[in-house]
Amino acid sequence: MNWDKPMAINSEFVTRDLGDEIILLSMDGKEIHSFADTGLWVWQLLKQGKTPEEILISMTGMYDVPENRARNDLEAFFEEILSKELVLAD
Amino acid sequence: MNRLILAIGPVTAALDFETAGLRRKFFRYFKGQVSLVEPDITIGISFADAGDKKEVPNSLFLTKIPAEKGFVTGDGLLEGFPGEETNHWNFRVNSLLIQGDYKRVFEQILYQAFYSVTGKRNLHLIHSSGVIWGNKGFLFFGPSEAGKSTVASLSRRYHVINDEINIVDLEQPVPQLTGTPFNGLFRGKKRGQAPLKGIFLLNKAPCHNVTLIEGSEAVRNLSKEIIPPVGLSDFIDAGTYAEMLDRATEICSRVPVYRLDFLPDKGFWEILKKL
């Protein structure tokens, strides 16, 4: 995973905003995913085109969390959404 | 004319058969849930011999494709042709599709007739069991084998309106639960409508319990059980699934959704009555 490159949101998913949650639905209706809380906050930054590194800086600036822990948590999140193809690395 | 007018909630669909015997057969099958009012949609139905056809697909939605005039679905078992008048159709149906349990697959084309009439209206067909107790409607849903028919069977002392397909009507000031003529496994259903008290996601468990669920958990589970809002002229596409999600979101914003943990006994009603 490249921390300095923005991730492209996969347009094959339809998104619906429920206010404090977001739902992503695959075009064939077979997959539904959702984000709330920190996941939703990260997703919104990804949609704005922020790189993973920029999101990490925002997170450590906003929350009282050590950088290495924030990096590990974000990495796990990014790997999950990459594996589900909600975002595309290239 | 051998006409049977089905009452599907607020929609009336006239089925015109070639013989009085077929009309009687379908009258019995739909448990007499008929109407005398002017139909919203009329469908002329003719049957062809089963021929060498042996199998019926599970879905008349996913197998539906456009044809030169109208559509073909069920791997060729049913062809639909629009008539010259609005909301008039003619179906040519392979007889295999009305044999035994396959009739429940045939019903799917009538779900589509319902949506042809209602379009984007705030009326939703839900794969579910519906029960009325104390003038309150309880809608039970869940994936296949979750227990919809079991709940209907355990609720037979109350007013079971359907254990397969029900209508959530959000056009009324108070959301309403309405039954349909469509058939599941439960044989004692009765017509009915009541204000919708709650929607219950079924979960077989070691004890009875009810928990309010909100947000995406409610929406994502319910959206899977909404009958695709596809009219007779329409075909499933990516927009269909998005619309199912939107319909689920709308319903969940108007009606509380709960997870019902239940054992296969009547005890869960003691909890539901206290809600």
Mean pLDDT of chain A: 92
Please give the structure tokens belonging to residue A27. 């075009």
pLDDT at B169: 98
Min Cα separation A88/chain B (Å): 20
> b/e map of B16-50 (b: 16 or more CB within 10 Å)?
bbeeeebbeebbebbeebbbeeebbbbbbbebeee
Of B220, B238, B240, the CB nearest to A32: B220
Cβ-defined contact of A14 to B246 (cutoff 8 Å): no
**Count of helices and strands (H, E) across chain A:** 3, 5
Q: What is the rounded average pLDDT of the residues A43-65?
A: 94
Pairing state between β A87-88 and A8-9: antiparallel
> Which of B216, B217, B243 to mutate against chain A (most A CBs within 10 Å)?
B216
Chain B contacts to A (CB-CB under 8 A): 215-217, 219-220, 223-224, 238, 240-242, 244-246, 249
Q: Tally the C-alpha atoms within 13 A of residue B264's C-alpha that lie toward its C-beta.
A: 7
Cβ-defined contact of A25 to B249 (cutoff 8 Å): no
pLDDT at B217: 93
Spatial distance between the Cα atoms of B153 and B262, rounded to a whole number of angstroms:
14
Task: Residue B248: list chain A partners with CB under 8 A.
Answer: none
Task: Residue B217: list chain A partners with CB under 8 A.
Answer: 34
Q: Quote the ipTM score.
A: 0.78
> b/e map of A48-64 (b: 16 or more CB within 10 Å)?
eebbbebbbeebbeeee
Cβ-defined contact of A25 to B241 (cutoff 8 Å): yes
Closest Cα to residue A20, out of B79, B217, B209? B217
* Angle ∠(B118,B107,B65) on CA atoms, nearest 5: 75
Task: Residue A21: list chain B partners with CB under 8 A.
Answer: 215-216
Min Cα separation B242/chain A (Å): 7
Backbone angles phi, psi at B103, to 5 degrees: -60, -30
- Domains of chain B in start order, with CATH, are 2-118 (no CATH), 123-272 (3.40.50)
**Domain residue ranges of chain A, discontinuous segments joined by +:** 9-88
* In the predicted structure, residue A83 carries a pLDDT above the cut 90: yes
Nearest CA in chain B to A28: B238
Spatial distance between the Cα atoms of A20 and B27, rounded to a whole number of angstroms:
49
Cβ-defined contact of A20 to B240 (cutoff 8 Å): no
Question: If pLDDT is split at 50, 70 and 90, which confidence band does A60 have?
Answer: very high
> Which of B245, B249, B250 to mutate against chain A (most A CBs within 10 Å)?
B245
pLDDT at A78: 96
**pLDDT for A3-49, tens place per residue?**
999 999 999 999 998 888 999 999 888 899 999 999 999 999 999 99
Instruction: Give the number of A-B residue pairs with CB atoms closer than 8 Å.
Output: 45
Which residue in the block uniquely carries the two structure tokens 């005890």?
B267
Cβ-defined contact of B245 to A20 (cutoff 8 Å): no
CA distances from A56 to A60, A61, A87, B258 (A): 6, 8, 17, 37
* Angle ∠(B150,B155,B156) on CA atoms, nearest 5: 105
pLDDT at B187: 86
Residues of chain B whose pLDDT is less than 50? Answer: none
Nearest CA in chain A to B228: A29
Please say whether the beta carbons of A50 and A43 come within 8 A: no
Question: If pLDDT is split at 50, 70 and 90, which confidence band does A90 have?
Answer: low
Task: Residue A39: list chain B partners with CB under 8 A.
Answer: none
Cβ-defined contact of A18 to B242 (cutoff 8 Å): no
Nearest CA in chain A to B238: A27
Of A16, A23, A27, the CB nearest to B238: A27
